[in-house]
Amino acid sequence: MNGGDANAPWPRLQEFIECGGQLSIGRIGPIACAAVASDEDQLYVSLVRRDGESFTDLLTRLDTALADALDNENHIDERMSI
């Protein structure tokens, strides 16, 4: 991946989807709102929406975390901290 469209609000999310990745946002079991980036082989990022966090801020955080996961293999799974 090359970093996506720099003019897109969430360039890494856009590029990830265009390259076959999947994003899921919403309730996951007991978690009221989570944002997950994965593909058919692995989970890259799973974030739990923080109290008072806007939807826009969650997507921005997901975009940043996904870039780190793809560039540095630093995968995040916040579901484990609940």
Q: Where in the chain are the domains?
A: 11-81
pLDDT of residue 32: 95
Residues 79 and 11: their CA atoms lie apart, in Å, by: 24
Q: Which residues pair with 35 in a beta bridge?
A: 25, 47
Phi then psi dihedrals of residue 12, to 5 deg: -70, -35
pTM (whole model) above 0.75:
yes
pLDDT-derived band at 2 (thresholds 50, 70, 90) equals low
20-77 confidence digits (pLDDT tens): 999 999 999 999 999 999 999 999 999 999 999 999 999 999 999 999 999 999 999 9
73 close to 48: Cβ distance less than 8 angstroms: no
For residues 37 and 7, the model is more confident at 37
Contact 59, 10 (CB under 8 A): yes
pLDDT of residue 46: 97
